[in-house]
A and B are shown apart, each in its own frame.
Chain A
Amino acid sequence: MSALKLLEEKYATIDANFLQFCASHAIFSVEDFLVHDVYMLVASAERLTNADRLKQGINQMLSIIETCHQPWKNGLVLLEDRERNKRCLSTGCKSFDVLLQGGLREGHVTELVGPSSSGKTQICFQVASNVAMKLGSAVFLDSGNSFSPTRIKQIVTRISGSLEHQVNGVLQQAMRNIECHAVFDIYALLNVLHQLNTNLENQAGCTVRLIVIDSISSLIAPILGSNNAQGYALMVSVGYLLKKLADRHNIAVVVTNHMVGGEGGNLKPALGESWKNVPHVRLQFSRDLATNIYGVYILKHPYMATGRSANFMIP
């Protein structure tokens, strides 16, 4: 969306007269036009001598607006898109995949929430390794220096299941396919995501299948506060950007949310109530220290019942 002046070159009916008419109603951009009542504008145009010409301009504006929103699709088209383009990425743990009916879904934003060392980052590594070996590239946005190439190497070696010297080719490919960015504040995050979005829009045949943000809570929690409206606006914007990337380019987005001490010493997610509404899927992680068995519990899912859970081991 843009300033009306910029539309002048492209459309014949949007001429100097029309711009002047709009300016008299304090309309300078498409956004200004959107918050005005079209009927009132037409009525006011009708009082002027060049009414027909102005009305053509208003109609032109309406057809421009039609291109400003996502197209309407019917259910069959949506279902076909989902079946053809939105696949599941394996988490590398069988029982976990069974719980999620195949794994993390492309097009979804999945949140992993749990206390520290409950397996969140390990699952991110496993999904990323799997994707990088077989499907395409993975983007890892690291806010806490948790990315470990050594660990990725271990996982790749284990999955490919062959001897050290044979692994080399696979390993190199996998390592090349993982792109890691260190991000330490929300502006850096927005910057990387916008850049990624532009790259994806411009080049066809892109193969990014996965975006991991580990952890998103350490980037967002610091800017939230009771008297900071901008913080919430930034948080919601990041959410929409992630959902847009996920849907348009068939990418699975995984974000992690750590836990902090809440009332009465109970742990609670660092991103709480206001964040809940952003992701498609929320998974709660836990770990039994004695047996080293990890647990995952569905807090929210678009089509699965909340409350289902599974146990898994991280090799």
Chain B
Amino acid sequence: MAKAWLNGDETAKQMLSRVLKERLLLHLPHPLHRVPIGVNNILEITGPSTSAKTEILLQVAVNCILPKIRNGVQYGGLEHSVLFLDLDCRFDIYRLSQSLRLKITEANRLHKAKYSHMGANVSDHISNNQLEYDEKDVFDECMRRFLYTRCYDSFEFLSVLKVLSNKLTSNGVNVLMIDNIGAFYSIDRGFSSLPQGNNINRKNIGLQSVLETVVQEIKKLLVLHSMIVLATKTVTNQVKRSYSSRVSGGLKSTYREYMPLAWQSIVTHRITVRPLDDKRRFGDRVCYSAEWVLPALSISGEFVVCDTGILDSEDGKC
């Protein structure tokens, strides 16, 4: 007995290979890259309407679905599937495809430049046709890794989550994106006030019970499959400023938390984004500011959205 205990469970090499393999990390685009998102983490991106929340999700998605390397071309992606659950029903695939195409073209351009730099004539190695063909292939491969569905109400959302587990392959990490977890808030809240019959045992269907089930299903998914969950949450500015905040003169707008505790408590990481209202433009573009709230970092960054994606506003021109 005691000997078995002394023998240990695995060698350092085994442990390293296990730990290093499972350690998939998602990096958000600059300037939000400071905290990497790991397996079983749930990130919430909070902000008012038009604060580039969906754009952040799309950039992470592009990074996930791109391959690491194909035919010698470095794409630097993670080669993972992304499941995009659209609760706002406002998603347009064009933005994702545009951004993806630009990234693929750019990677190929760099690749060609590297070759010609080394003195070899590119056309000797690969014909231009071949390259274009490869680009199309890589594009199709990436787009197939992006899976999408939309929900028009909470019950559709619950249905998706309930049967999602069967759909996911148990190998490999998948990334689940939920575009606006608070989308059905006002509808469900309206439900709660309706009379629900006189059976006291029957679960009251409404905001609380729906979100508790959502949280429960997500927790189950995390146990069964190693996953990363990214969710956006739209907040409104309509807060009647309390007396204390007016006195303290806190200009920083704080948004009212409206999601039930069940949801708040499973969020492991949180950032807030907002458009900068002082009309300070970067070229012709609106600037957004982003801040880590959980874990709380005192540094906040500013960024702009270009055709290729998100750019740190300190990194220079688009």
Contacts and interface: CB of A to CB of B under 8 A. Distances in A.
Interface residues of B, number: 68
A39 B223 CA distance: 14
Contact of A71 (B83, B95, B149, B237): B149
A32 B203 contact: yes
B191 to A, nearest CB: 8
A161 interface: no
A74 B151 contact: no
A66 B146 contact: no
Nearest to B191: A233
A35 B205 contact: yes
A278 to B, nearest CB: 8
Contact of B238 (A39, A274, A277, A300): A274
A305 B286 contact: yes
A247 interface: yes
A314 B237 CA distance: 35
Nearest to B199: A26
Interface in A18-69: 25-26, 28, 30-32, 34-39, 62, 65-66, 68-69
A97 to B, nearest CB: 17
A65 B93 CA distance: 26
Contacts of B158: 34-35
Nearest to B139: A76
B155 to A, nearest CB: 6
A36 B203 contact: yes
Given A70-B156, A305-B305, A34 B213 contact: yes
Contact of A70 (B54, B151, B210, B212): B151
Interface string B108-150: 0000000000000000000000000000000010111111111
Interface string B173-204: 00000001001101101110100000101110
B142 A75 contact: yes
Contacts of B289: none
Given A32-B203, A76-B143, A299 B50 contact: yes
B88 interface: yes
Interface in A262-286: 272-274, 276-277, 279-280
Contacts of B187: 233, 236-237
B16 interface: no
Given A1-B155, A65-B159, A247 B50 contact: no
A72 B180 CA distance: 18
A30 B162 CA distance: 12
Contacts of A229: 186, 189-190, 193
A71 B156 CA distance: 11
A31 B205 contact: yes
B93 A78 contact: yes
Given A38-B162, A277-B49, A76 B144 contact: yes
Given A230-B190, A232-B190, A307-B284, A66 B202 contact: no
B263 interface: no
A37 B50 CA distance: 36
B284 A276 contact: no
A73 B144 CA distance: 9
Given A34-B159, A36-B203, A38-B162, A73 B186 contact: no
B160 interface: yes
Given A32-B203, A240-B152, A306-B50, 19 more contacts: A28-B199, A34-B162, A35-B209, A38-B162, A70-B152, A73-B147, A74-B144, A75-B142, A75-B144, A107-B92, A229-B186, A232-B189, A236-B186, A276-B48, A277-B49, A277-B183, A299-B50, A303-B94, A305-B305
Interface of A: 1, 25-26, 28, 30-32, 34-39, 62, 65-66, 68-76, 78-79, 82, 107-108, 229-230, 232-237, 240, 243-244, 247, 272-274, 276-277, 279-280, 299-300, 302-303, 305-308
19 contacts: A66-B163, A68-B155, A69-B157, A69-B163, A72-B147, A72-B148, A73-B148, A75-B148, A76-B144, A79-B93, A79-B94, A82-B92, A108-B92, A229-B193, A236-B184, A273-B237, A276-B236, A279-B90, A307-B286
Interface of B: 48-50, 54, 65, 83, 88-98, 140, 142-153, 155-160, 162-163, 167, 180, 183-184, 186-187, 189-191, 193, 199, 201-203, 205, 209-210, 212-213, 216, 220, 234, 236-238, 281, 284-286, 305
